[in-house]
DNA sequence: CTTTTCATGTGCAAAAATTCACAATGTCTT
DNA sequence: AAGACATTGTGAATTTTTGCACATGAAAAG
């Protein structure tokens, strides 16, 4: 099906990006969109859109464009988000709670099936979503039982590696890490890091740099 | 000072990355680190570390390595995070609250100086940090008064562009956008997007892809 | 049925980023 | 003081990613 074995990493990132405006169009918008329009909504080059999609097949109609509904379905299929994905979260602080409640996760089929915290005060507590906070030592058992594929780390950096090890032991195949440090995993578990402050530092750098070039 | 005018964007991202293990080492660790060790902690190639740093000067000692304290100071200077940066947040829901309380922001000198929400129920409410939630129509006035440089958008996607426009009008120079959509800005305001679900979709893709290649 | 129009899909060129490989240069040992 | 050793800084080679430019094919118009 695919043209090449190795799909560029940036392409995968952009596919997720493309799906955002497509979801909007699905509700209220024309049923067809051109690579140029879609590129505009995402801030990329039109040829980039076409090339990204071409890795996976021919989804468009020449002279017309892409059918919004079809394209969105294809992208979701490619990204494997056409079925629910089961998650667990470790660390139910402010951040953890906001992730569990997050509308975007729910909307896109990401389901939190378990929540863990090392703080005995919190263990046993029932969350708004109905989940009960369990102690970290149950990660292995619960994840295997509930067939959890992805673990979300929302602990302070100090405990992140320990939590990561527990998740690996539980057979989790992906980790979304919100702790501002690099966690080490084995080859068959992939990590994605979300570090807000990296983005802020990026902004800070460019803000300052702007001053320099103007001064 | 710098070798080239145009510093690669990935380099800036990695500089922020490098600072994490350096901060740890500063507290408890050897006073000097090699590019190889630092690269290991960050999951990058040693030559990459050296090249990234070389854009900004010669910070190492040949045959020895980099002085942890000096290097960290240099990186902070480069990223312009050696001084406090003033932020405001728009949208004080679960996510917004967790960002305001976030220890990493505090630790790195990012200070929330104002909080806004469009919900009249919330306006006037006093937050744990002492800030009082203000209505969105005060963004312009308050941001100018408090010299806020960066605005954080933590609203649902629907309202994000409107909030973005208000922040632009308030003279904000950078925006950290947590809404899962692309906001449009003018040339002198830079946007960084934080979209958790993009990362999750990345994980989902690779998890599934792994299955394929193994099956 | 032919022509015109339009936007896709794609080979190729350009640009950007990464990695290699080694000379340069400092420290430590004897 | 000289030689061994370790690790930086960097030009060149490689790899990856992006963008151009146009042939291709589908639909609409005449």
* Check whether domain A9-77 has CATH 1.10.10.10, yes or no: yes
pLDDT bracket for residue B215 (50, 70, 90)? very low
Does residue A145 carry a pLDDT above 60?
A: yes
CA distance A203 to B158: 24
Please count the residue pairs, one from chain A and one from chain B, whose beta carbons lie less than 8 angstroms apart.
Answer: 173
Q: Express each pLDDT in A82-117 by its tens digit.
A: 999 999 999 999 999 999 999 999 999 999 999 999
CATH superfamily, domain B85-197, is: NAD(P)-binding Rossmann-like Domain (3.40.50.720)
Nucleotide nearest to B58 (CA to C1'): D9
Q: Express each pLDDT in B165-179 by its tens digit.
A: 999 999 999 999 999
Domain locations in chain B as residue ranges:
9-78, 85-197
**Tokens describing residue A17:** 């990006």
Q: Cite the beta strand spans of chain B per DSSP E.
A: 32-33, 60-61, 65-67, 85-90, 110-116, 133-134, 150-153, 174-177, 190-193
**A94 with B102: Cβ contact below 8 A:** yes
**A174 with B203: Cβ contact below 8 A:** yes
Q: How far is CA A213 from CA A33, A120, B15, B81, in A?
A: 39, 53, 21, 18
pLDDT bracket for residue B54 (50, 70, 90)? very high
Q: Per CATH, which fold does B9-78 belong to? A: Arc Repressor Mutant, subunit A (1.10.10)
Would you state the pLDDT for residue A1? 47
Helix axes of B35-42 and B9-27: crossing angle, nearest 10 degrees: 100
Would you state the pLDDT for residue B179? 96
Calculate mean pLDDT across residues A14-38.
95
Question: What string of DSSP letters covers A42-73?
Answer: HTS-HHHHHHHHHTT---EETTTEEEHHHHHH
pLDDT bracket for residue A3 (50, 70, 90)? low
Taking the Cβ of residue A4 and every Cβ of chain B, the question of whether any pair is shorter than 8 Å is answered with no
In the three-class reduction of DSSP (H, G, I as helix; E, B as strand; rest coil), residue B91 is classed as coil
CA distance A97 to B145: 33
User: Among A1-5, A57-61, B16-20, which stretch is predicted with the lowest mean pLDDT?
Assistant: A1-5
Taking the Cβ of residue B105 and every Cβ of chain A, the question of whether any pair is shorter than 8 Å is answered with yes
Our measurement of CA A41 to C1' C6, in angstroms, reads 21
Taking the Cβ of residue A201 and every Cβ of chain B, the question of whether any pair is shorter than 8 Å is answered with yes
CA distance B124 to A92: 27
- Sequence-distant (6+) residues with CB within 8 A of B194 are A194, A196, A199, B176, B177, B178
Would you state the pLDDT for residue A215? 33
Q: Express each pLDDT in B27-47 by its tens digit.
A: 888 999 999 999 999 999 999
Q: Is the dihedral of CA A201, A203, A204, A205 positive or negative?
A: positive
Which residue's entry shows tokens 């780390």? Answer: A153
Would you state the pLDDT for residue A29? 85
Window 36-75 of B, Cβ < 8 Å to A:
41-43
Taking the Cβ of residue A99 and every Cβ of chain B, the question of whether any pair is shorter than 8 Å is answered with yes
pLDDT bracket for residue A210 (50, 70, 90)? low
In the three-class reduction of DSSP (H, G, I as helix; E, B as strand; rest coil), residue A90 is classed as strand
- Sequence-distant (6+) residues with CB within 8 A of A169 are A139, A140
The minimum CA-CA distance between B110 and chain A, rounded to whole Å, is: 9
């Amino acid at each position: 099906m695919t043209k090449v074995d190795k799909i560029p990493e940036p392409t995968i990132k952009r596919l997720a990006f493309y799906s955002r405006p497509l979801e909007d169009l699905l509700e209220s918008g024309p049923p067809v969109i051109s690579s140029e329009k879609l590129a505009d909504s995402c801030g990329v080059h039109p040829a980039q859109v076409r090339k990204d999609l071409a890795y996976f097949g021919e989804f468009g109609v020449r002279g017309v464009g892409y059918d919004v509904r079809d394209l969105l379905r294809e992208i979701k299929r490619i990204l494997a988000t056409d079925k629910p994905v089961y998650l667990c979260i470790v660390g139910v602080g402010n951040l953890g709670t906001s992730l569990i409640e997050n509308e975007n996760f729910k909307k896109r089929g990401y389901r939190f099936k378990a929540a863990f915290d090392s703080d005995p005060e919190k263990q046993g507590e029932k969350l708004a979503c109905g989940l009960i906070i369990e102690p970290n030592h149950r990660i292995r058992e619960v994840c295997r039982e509930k067939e959890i594929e992805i673990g979300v780390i929302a602990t302070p950096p100090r405990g992140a590696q320990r939590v990561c090890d527990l998740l690996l032991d539980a057979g989790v195949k992906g980790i979304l890490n919100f702790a501002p440090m690099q966690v080490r995993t084995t080859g068959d578990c992939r990590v994605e890091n979300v570090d807000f402050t990296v983005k802020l530092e990026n902004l800070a750098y460019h803000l300052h740099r702007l001053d320099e070039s103007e001064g």
